[in-house]
Amino acid sequence: MSTQNSLNTLQPYNLEGKVAVVTGASKGIGKAIVDSLADAGAKVVLAARTRDVVEQAAADLRDTGAEAIAVPTDVTDVNAVQNLIQQTVDTYQNIDILINNAGNGIFGTVEDFDPVDWDSVINSNLKGVFLCAKYALPHLLANGGGQIINVLSVAAKVAFPASSAYCAAKAGALALTKVLAAEVRHQNIRVTAVLPGSVETPFWDDISQHPDFEKMLKPEHVANTVLSVCQQPLGMVTEEIVVMPPLGIL
């Protein structure tokens, strides 16, 4: 390896002008992630289901001087995901980073859980990760490499009562992340799973019982973690990182 190549693998990865697609980007963790990436100079593509909210989030970023577009997207829909990737390439010509952050949570005991709700949680948290990775990969490969970061949950590893679908989906998404990493590591694509503990976001709005918000992580804590992974030197990869509130599982 030449001295120059060796130095390149040690230098922080510069996000200036890089193209990052972020799902679930209109609020909470996703919004904090796109804000941090835009601050670092990346061109950001915001994907979320609610058109007016995601378009306003992109407009707010453009008002700060960032390059940002919104693509309303249901990550469980094949056509919608294909459209997301195509609009990204049409606008910015390539994709450097995919951050799978979209997901939902519906809770209840196995005995009482509605199968329709089960499908919703599995599709949002697992199928969506698969679809976005599948359709982004050809462009990452054509670009000579890139990065995929899947924002999951400690529920991928810890069993919580009344959380069967959510835990199963996150565990499946963690397994998918590991398989994906094994498949593409030799093609210059870094794959990382980020597993946060409780985060103060709108995720909890419809959940009557929840941990103390004051003790939770903030969305910016997770966003800072994602940004640091994105900026790591090309000579390394963080395959999995757990981010917890100071008091641990709440």
Q: Which residues are catalytic?
A: 166
Handedness of CA 191, 197, 202, 208 (dihedral sign): positive
Query: For the chain, what's the residue count?
Result: 250
Contacts (Cβ under 8 Å, ≥6 apart) of 107: 162, 163, 166, 207
**Distance separating alpha carbons of residues 85 and 233, to the nearest angstrom:** 26
Contacts (Cβ under 8 Å, ≥6 apart) of 43: 17, 18, 19, 20, 66, 67, 68, 92
Instruction: Determine the Cα angle at 147 with ends 145 and 151, to 5°.
Output: 160
HSE-CB for 44 with a 13 A CA cutoff: 35
Q: Tell which residue, 93, 100, 91, 95, has the closest CA to residue 173.
A: 100
60: amino acid identity, one letter: D
Coil, strand, or helix at residue 2? coil
Token pair of 26 as six digits: 């209109």
**Distance separating alpha carbons of residues 155 and 193, to the nearest angstrom:** 13
Contacts (Cβ under 8 Å, ≥6 apart) of 28: 199, 201, 202, 203, 219
